[in-house]
Structure 1
Amino acid sequence: MSNAWSILNNPFKNKGTAFTNEERKRLGLVGTLPVEVETIEQQAKRVYDEYKNRPEGLQQRQYLMEVFDTNRTLFYYVMQHHIEELMPIIYDPIIAPAIEKYSEIFQRPQEAAFLSIDNEDDIKESLKNAAAGRNVKLIVATDAEGILGIGDWGTNGVNIAIGKLMVYTAAAGIDPSEVLPVSLDVGTNNETLLNDPLYLGLRKKRVYGDKYYHFVDSFVAAAREVFPDVYLHFEDFGRDNATKILKQYQDKIPVFNDDVQGTGIVCLAGVLGALNISKQKFTDQVFLTYGAGTAGMGIANMMYREMRMEGLSEEEAKKHFYLVDKQGLLFEDTPGLTPEQKPFVRKRSEFANADELTNLEAVVKAVHPSVMIGTSTNPGAFTEGVVKAMAAGTERPIIFPISNPTKLIEAHPEDIIKWTEGRALVATGIPSAPVEYNGVTYHIGQANNALIYPGLGLGVLASKTRLVNDEILSAAAHSLGGIVDTSKPGAAVLPPISMLQSFTKTEARAVVQSAIDQGLAGEGITDPAKVTEEMQWTAEYTNED
């Protein structure tokens, strides 16, 4: 391949029509491009105008992915100038149909690494080939067993890793040449995929047990060998594996699981924001988690650890938590409890009517929660009766129906505001329009993990921390406080996505400071602002050699 084609087909080096005449001569590009030399601003206007001309949703995303495949700098320039508008297109919710159709519309691998449990000996070679000499510092890896609200999507789930890394760069300025999406293909239990002649992954049922964990171990070891400073982000693993894998590595290397920890951190930040409005104490809150799966238990654990950091004993802290799942309130003798659920279950002897606590409204009336967070994917579960029962027991009920997409939300904000006569402090997992009620405009915070993981990742990389522990995660959550003016009526409990690029820096600096204070930061790192600034990449063209 000629030098010209190798440059024009390298998305990390290609500038397209922005190559200057001098660069075109020096790089052998003369005659390969139209004669007009454009600025990145001119190119970005063309991209944005064409994006707006496409039918809304998946076709818009496909067009943006064509730009991504061709010119990373231009893609992120457009993203960073329209981040609030484009986030739902490149990530949630449009990522869901993009995953479902991944094999059907596949064109390019987008510099991802595809690792197969049937070819474990090829892991190291695969990582090197996918990186192609790039200095990878951040990996998002998924086995795609538990994607968003859509379940098991096998190799198609690599799109979730690609999308997550887009948000890291657009929101926090992580250098796109230093990231790597990884698909851990261990098969799929999705019969639609197994019977689809176009499916690109392993055509076998999911592998579990020792062989599975050995494969994950081999991947982690190879990743750390090939990329010694890499930060590993695990995404959308199945309920049974997510926490187990996180615990396996979190005391050894810098690792993060967004489903276990990210949702917990952003909900903690939201609760802290709500308490800034209500002026109540964190240690006085009673938490009800509705949906005790990976995300729900991640939330409960994050709140529990915050209680402990506030000075409560283990026994005192656990008294503040109630778990509700399909069976109702979870007790010590509830069949099928997971290891994550067991520390938070209750004794039947605590309740005179324990056998009746099989539905959410009965539980709310019995335990009087002040904070209720839904990760159940059970649409409409926060009924008028449930919400009014909760509001009867607390002055400013904190209610976060965060299941997504929209069709799975436990309750809509306008209903919660109306049912509580404007007293509820609400966040949702999806973007929600402001609610008008009795002359007040209530701004609804979005408990979107994108508020947390980009800034956290920037801080982890900037600090070169050896571990990502609870103190660092708490620092990330607390850093979002003070960004919203809580004195205004109807203030949101979390800052808006539109401010994402500014507060990721604030968050990263807090993470670096925590790593420094704990003695976890890399040698010579003493200035959080300086190292954060140095770590950030900017979407602008540089001179090509």
Structure 2
Amino acid sequence: MRSMKAMEILNNPYLNKGTAFTMDERKKLGLLGALPAKVQTLQEQADETYAHFQTKPAGLPQRQFLMEIFNTNRTLFFYLMGQHIVEFMPIVYDPVIAESIENYSNIFIQPQQAAFLSVDDQDNVEESLKNAADGRDIRLIVVTDAEGILGIGDWGVNGVDIAVGKLMVYTAAAGIDPSQVLAVSLDAGTNNQALLDDPMYLGNRHKRVYGDEYYALVDKFVQSSRKLFPEALLHFEDFGRSNAAVILNKYKDAMPVFNDDIQGTGIIALAGVLGALNISKEKLVDQKFLTFGAGTAGMGIAKMLYDEMVRQGADPAEAKKHFYLVDVQGLLFNDTPDLTPEQKEFTRDRSEFSNADELTDLLSVVKAVHPTVMIGTSKQPGAFTEEVVKEMAAHTERPIIFPISNPTKLIEAMPADLIKWTDGRVLTATGIPVDPVEYKGVTYTIGQANNALVYPGVGFGAIAAKASQVNETMLAAAAHALGGIVDPSESGAAVLPPVAKLEDFTTRVSEVVAQSAIDQGLAGDGITDAKKAVADLKWEAKY
């Protein structure tokens, strides 16, 4: 192999140390004279970079600055993120990432080692993946077609930013080596007319392709990935309602795949409910669940909660009776038109209600069914009104209410209002970061029902164990690991652990997922020690 030139090293974000290259390294690598004389430590670089970061206006300008560091020096970026995880998470991920996606084509600087696969150029899928990987040993792929980005919808090729952001969290939380990950955009077109009309838009300028041609692109991506990167886990992200479950179900038994919107959201909701029940001392099998928003995320949540009830001994037919789905039409019945296969599993019969035709809005449904758990993935801001919440709270001692739509402008209710309206009885978690709430002398810590708390551990644990698939048993183990971290004795305790401890509990989730793979006989040859497998794979941000 030819030796790399100085500029190649300094322009390679996986190898570049910038001013931290020692004099010996500079001599060996041909970097003498290519850098200022002072040799800095990683900590000195981090201090200097953070001081510079603090001069930037909040939001997108801060993210753009951090992306410059990410683009030039991965080690420095993740070292810095590790020191400021609570501050940086909302900037590199949710909610600021939404603004970044919306502006992606207009502020594009470089592709961040992502692979761009086009529905119009399917013959070159394998070559495109190979080029983007550039010889790297890829163990984790986050792929999106960006049809259903939570909260903002269809953003075409701009949505590759969500894949890049998810992979950042994987490294910051779980410790996956950033040189072993690949972001992939499946560009099938877009139905976002504003993008199609924008001369700056970088993706395919046509309406979104569906059906056989689209599924052929997905399959070519999957098969090429398996051929090029046989040890890689495929993480599907923000696919549309009509495709997400179809794709997951097609591949989940044959290889390690994971859909964050279906499974990740389901795990975090289950973990939050288990955490809440640790506090209220109630049983899962006694709860009545109302899912407000019956799309990909809402159905993932219902399925995960249902599976857990069955695991806890509930009769499957009886367990189904504990679920109520509310979507734009109101309560979903078995004769509601255009139901998805996932929705049909949980619909109700009109004969159960004397006023079935009136159950077309959330308040009517809450009055009719008296739920004890209400989870919102509706993207309907303010939908959990004072009247709805007080009606629910009148029929249960500790109402569990999770408004998890994001970004902030789409949340169903703010925790401060939920606490006030229930006189402090609510057990809540949100999809966005929220400061603690003071009410009547008690400080309520608000758990964040954000998939970032769980998917890094699930993915990392499966990769560490070289699991042949990611199944419901592993996902349940992850939910229990998270739900079990809550301290139920603390006044105002959160139902989920704080982002500040993200690295610690991600390690715990990784270990239980790896152990589950081992216990089920799904781990790779010779992998018998989950803790060792996780520790061996972990990458640290250091030179």
Tell me the TM-score normalised to structure 2 length.
Answer: 0.99
Match of 1:267 in 2: 269
Q: Structure 1: which amino acid aligns with 2:246?
A: K
Match of 2:488 in 1: 486
Give the aligned partner of residue 287 of structure 1. 289
- Structure 2 partner of 1:296: 298
How far residue 338 of structure 1 moved from its aligned partner, in angstroms, is 1.2
Instruction: Tell me, in whole angstroms, the C-alpha distance in 1 between the residues paired with 2:302 and 2:87.
Output: 31
**1:297-326 Cα shifts (integer Å, max 9, x gaps):** 110011011111112222011011000111
Matches within 5 A, 1:418-429: 418-429=420-431
**Equivalent residue for 1:477?**
479
Aligned residue for 1:317? Answer: 319
| Counterparts of residues 96-175 of structure 1 (less than 5 Å) | 96-175=98-177
CA contact (8 A) 1:413 1:426 kept: yes
Match of 1:224 among 223, 226, 249: 226
- Give per-residue Cα distances to partners, 1:333-385, cap 9 Å, x unaligned: 11121111001000011111111111111111111111000111111111111
Deviations 1:162-209 (A, max 9, x none): 000000001110000000000001111111111111111111111001
Cα shift at 1:330: 0.7
**1:331 counterpart residue number:** 333
How many Å separate the matches in 2 of 1:319 and 1:119? 47
Question: What one-letter code is carried by the residue in structure 2 that aligns with 1:257?
Answer: N
Residue type at the aligned position of 2:134: A
CA distance in 1, matches of 2:437, 2:72: 41
What pairs up with 1:82-481 in 2 under 5 angstroms?
Answer: 82-481=84-483
Following TM superposition, by how much is the alpha carbon of 1:484 offset from its aligned partner in structure 2, in angstroms?
Answer: 2.6
> For the residues of structure 1 that align with 2:214 and 2:315, how far apart are their CA atoms?
37
**Cα distance, 1:148 vs structure 2:** 2.2
Q: Deviations over 1:455-512 (max 9, x none)?
A: 1111011111111000000000000133232101110000010000100111011101
Q: How far 1:2 sits from its partner (Å)?
A: 6.4
Task: Tell me how far 1:291 sits from its aligned partner.
Answer: 0.6
Contact conserved, 1:131 with 1:180, CA < 8 A, in 2? yes
How far residue 436 of structure 1 moved from its aligned partner, in angstroms, is: 1.3
- What SS is found at the alignment partner of 1:340? helix
What is the CA–CA distance in structure 2 between the aligned matches of 1:321 and 1:2, rounded to whole Å?
60
Partner Cα distance (2:370, 2:321) in 1: 13
CA distance, structure 2, for counterparts of residue 503 and residue 425 of structure 1: 21
Query: What's the secondary structure of 2:126's corresponding residue?
Result: helix
Contact 1:327/1:358 (<8 A) preserved: yes
State yes or no: 1:527 paired with 2:529: yes
The separation in 2 between residues aligned to 1:2 and 1:39, in whole angstroms, is 23
In structure 1, the gaps of 5 or more residues are none
- Number of residue pairs aligned between Structure 1 and Structure 2: 541
Superposition deviation, residue 73 in structure 1: 0.5
Q: 5+ residue gaps in structure 2?
A: none
The one-letter code matched in structure 1 to 2:321 is: K
Q: Does the 8 Å contact 2:158/2:203 carry over to 1? A: yes
The offset of 1:527, in angstroms, is 1.1
CA distance in 2, matches of 1:336, 1:421: 40
Aligned counterparts of 1:354 and 1:483: Cα–Cα separation in 2: 41
By how many angstroms is 1:513 displaced? 1.0
- Aligned mates of 1:293, 1:201 — CA distance in 2: 26
Q: Percent identity?
A: 68
Structure 1 CA distance, aligned partners of 2:390 and 2:251? 43
**What is the CA–CA distance in structure 2 between the aligned matches of 1:52 and 1:532, rounded to whole Å?**
34
- Tell me the SS of whatever aligns to 1:239: coil
Match of 1:540 in 2: 542
2:25 to 23, 26, 29: 23
Question: Structure 1-normalised TM-score?
Answer: 0.98
Quick check: 1:112–1:130 contact (8 Å CA) kept in 2?
yes
Kept after mapping to 2: 8 A contact 1:96/1:148: no
Aligned to 1:70: 72
**Inter-partner Cα distance in structure 2 for 1:2 and 1:278:** 61
Q: Distance in 1 between matches of 2:511 and 2:197?
A: 49
CA distance in 2, matches of 1:326, 1:195: 29
Give the counterpart letter for 2:8 in structure 1: S
Q: Give yes or no for contact 2:483–2:495 (8 Å, CA) kept in 1.
A: no
What is the aligned partner in structure 1 of residue 509 from structure 2?
A: 507
